[in-house]
């Protein structure tokens, strides 16, 4: 790849998405050129085919679990992305807002009745913030009380009340992960309202920005409200105040070797038996013989044998036959270069190959902490 192409990074867009915020925290621009793409698979493809050197995708949320679209692409059942590896991870705190057009507020600010809202131009984002707290709209729903049902006898109250009248809203847009993260608020104030899944929360805001009827709303970020000129109808509607999403930075395996270390591994000091395994995590997928009792237990036992802690485990359908699965595990530690037997991770993976049907190393990342990334409107439009 040419020297001037090495700083291109793709992410799940559009701009102002949470993935964009994660990308900026890992790849501040400049010197990196950040490229928003429509879907998670588009990011995988861009890295696989060398259009970019890195990609950033969501992997799991602390409230709503793993992003199945990302897991399915790592499963790679059709062998479309054989060279994709995890290079790094980024944590971003997630605070959702309900965004839309507050027609009552806008009519009071524009008594002439002429429409004053216009979508922002791409190159100029000098947009006044609409995200300041507003008076609570008093209504029978302001208590936040949810009627108990047989299936949910003790429903949770939402953490935040609406800041505007929501009675006109008939359709909601957001990423599928956001619905579960905001269940108490949506079940209290917008129960029964149609929900439309879209590729990202920022895409949801973009769609609502083009509908000035006031009948649609998006679960998205405060930054997206500024970028797309929307009103914040409610703020902090996520179920938990510690809501956080983990993102993976993707790279591409180079050459035909069985093992090529990631950039983080190649630049890190140390290695072999003396390395600090607790500072790293490795992602591995494997399949087992579902007809063999204890096959999964035997596979997982190899990690315990070599003192490797499992930090997560996920499953996805294998497509071999119904009710057969691919298992994804993250373990504390990293492989040693060269594909030899040195180090506990290498030894465990060699033994895993004897206990399971097949396995695949999907890369490793240095363990990170939650970052407090606050984008500006200018960054969101860069």
Q: Do 247 and 342 have their domain in common?
A: yes
Please check whether residue 329 is in contact with residue 308, taking contact to mean a CB–CB distance below 8 angstroms: no
Establish if 373 belongs to a structural domain: no
Per-residue pLDDT band for 121 (boundaries 50, 70, 90) equals very low
Q: Apex CA 299: angle with CA 293 and CA 304, to 5°?
A: 125
The reported pLDDT for the residue numbered 381 is 41
Residues 125-129: what's their mean pLDDT? 39
- Is the pLDDT reported for residue 218 higher than 90? yes
Q: Do 11 and 86 have their domain in common?
A: yes
HSE of 127 in the Cβ direction (CA atoms, 13 Å)? 28
Q: Do 101 and 186 have their domain in common?
A: yes
Beta-strand (E) ranges in 29-96?
A: 33-37, 54-61, 65-66, 84-93
The reported pLDDT for the residue numbered 229 is 93
Establish if 127 belongs to a structural domain: no
- Is the pLDDT reported for residue 124 higher than 50? no
Alpha helices in 80-199 (DSSP H): 103-109, 176-181, 183-189
Contact partners, residue 2, CB within 8 Å, separation at least 6: none
pLDDT tens profile 262-301? 444 444 433 444 455 678 899 999 999 888 899 999 999 9
- Is the pLDDT reported for residue 107 higher than 90? no
Q: Do 9 and 21 have their domain in common?
A: yes
Q: Do 147 and 88 have their domain in common?
A: no
The reported pLDDT for the residue numbered 63 is 81
Per-residue pLDDT band for 57 (boundaries 50, 70, 90) equals very high
Establish if 247 belongs to a structural domain: yes
Mean pLDDT of the chain: 80
Weakest mean pLDDT among 90-94, 214-218, 283-287, 374-378: 374-378
Q: Do 64 and 187 have their domain in common?
A: no
C-alpha dist (Å) from residue 158 to 181, 259, 296, 345? 11, 48, 40, 44
The reported pLDDT for the residue numbered 330 is 94
- Is the pLDDT reported for residue 132 higher than 70? no
pLDDT tens profile 149-204? 555 565 567 888 999 999 999 999 999 989 988 999 999 999 999 999 998 899 99
Contact partners, residue 85, CB within 8 Å, separation at least 6: 250, 251, 252, 253, 262, 362, 363
Q: What are phi and psi of 228, to 5 degrees?
A: -105, 10
- Is the pLDDT reported for residue 111 higher than 70? no
Number of domains forming the structure of the chain: 2
The reported pLDDT for the residue numbered 253 is 87
Residue 356: give the domain boundaries: 3-94+243-254+275-366
Pairing between β-strand 171-174 and β-strand 216-220 as defined by DSSP bridges: parallel
Q: Do 202 and 225 have their domain in common?
A: yes
Percent pLDDT > 70 in the chain is: 74
Q: Apex CA 347: angle with CA 342 and CA 353, to 5°?
A: 140
Q: Do 327 and 348 have their domain in common?
A: yes
Establish if 132 belongs to a structural domain: no
- Exposure of 322 by Cβ count < 10 A (0-12 exposed, 13-18 middle, 19+ buried)? exposed
- Is the pLDDT reported for residue 338 higher than 90? no
Q: Do 41 and 58 have their domain in common?
A: yes
Q: Choose among 184, 187, 198, 193: nearest CA to 216.
A: 193
The reported pLDDT for the residue numbered 275 is 52
Establish if 55 belongs to a structural domain: yes
Q: Do 360 and 279 have their domain in common?
A: yes
Q: How many Cβ atoms from other residues are within 10 Å of residue 150's Cβ?
A: 5
C-alpha dist (Å) from residue 234 to 99, 174, 243, 295? 7, 15, 17, 49
The reported pLDDT for the residue numbered 195 is 97
Q: Do 156 and 225 have their domain in common?
A: yes
Q: Choose among 280, 260, 282, 255: nearest CA to 269.
A: 280
Q: Do 36 and 159 have their domain in common?
A: no
Q: What is the CATH number of the domain that holds 320?
A: 3.40.190.10
C-alpha dist (Å) from residue 311 to 282, 329, 346? 10, 8, 18
- Is the pLDDT reported for residue 231 higher than 80? yes
Establish if 375 belongs to a structural domain: no
């Amino acid at each position: 790849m040419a020297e001037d192409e090495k700083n291109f990074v793709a992410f799940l867009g559009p701009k102002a998405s949470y993935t964009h915020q994660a990308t900026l925290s890992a790849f501040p621009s400049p010197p990196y050129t950040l490229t928003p793409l429509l879907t998670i698979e588009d990011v995988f493809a861009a890295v696989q085919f060398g259009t970019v050197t890195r990609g950033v995708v969501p992997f799991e949320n602390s409230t709503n679990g793993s992003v199945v679209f990302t897991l399915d692409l790592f499963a790679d059942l059709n062998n479309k992305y054989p060279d994709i590896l995890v290079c790094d991870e980024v944590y971003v705190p997630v605070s959702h807002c309900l965004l839309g057009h507050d027609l009552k507020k806008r009519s009071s600010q524009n008594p002439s009745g002429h429409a004053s809202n216009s979508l922002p131009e791409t190159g100029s984002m000098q947009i006044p913030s609409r995200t300041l707290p507003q008076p609570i709209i008093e209504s029978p729903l302001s208590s936040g009380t949810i009627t108990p049902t047989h299936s949910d006898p003790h429903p949770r109250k939402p953490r935040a009340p609406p800041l505007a009248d929501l009675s006109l809203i008939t359709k909601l847009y957001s990423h599928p992960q956001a619905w579960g993260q905001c269940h108490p608020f949506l079940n209290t104030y917008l129960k029964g309202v149609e929900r439309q899944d879209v590729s990202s929360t920022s895409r949801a805001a973009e769609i609502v920005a083009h509908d000035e009827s006031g009948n649609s709303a998006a679960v998205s970020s405060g930054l997206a409200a500024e970028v797309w000129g929307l009103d914040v109808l409610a703020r902090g509607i996520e179920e938990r105040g510690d809501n956080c999403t983990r993102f993976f930075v993707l790279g591409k395996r180079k050459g035909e070797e069985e093992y090529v270390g990631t950039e983080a591994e190649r630049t890190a000091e140390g290695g072999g038996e003396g390395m600090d395994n607790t500072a790293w995590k490795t992602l591995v997928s494997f399949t087992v013989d579902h007809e063999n009792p204890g096959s999964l237990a035997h596979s997982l036992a190899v990690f315990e044998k070599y003192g490797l802690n499992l930090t997560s485990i996920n499953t996805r359908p294998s497509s071999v036959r119904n009710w057969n699965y691919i298992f994804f595990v993250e373990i504390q530690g990293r492989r040693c270069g060269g594909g030899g037997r040195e180090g506990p991770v290498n030894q465990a993976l060699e033994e895993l190959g004897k206990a399971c049907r097949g396995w695949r190393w999907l890369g490793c990342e240095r363990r990170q902490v939650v970052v407090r990334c606050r984008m500006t409107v200018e960054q969101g439009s860069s």
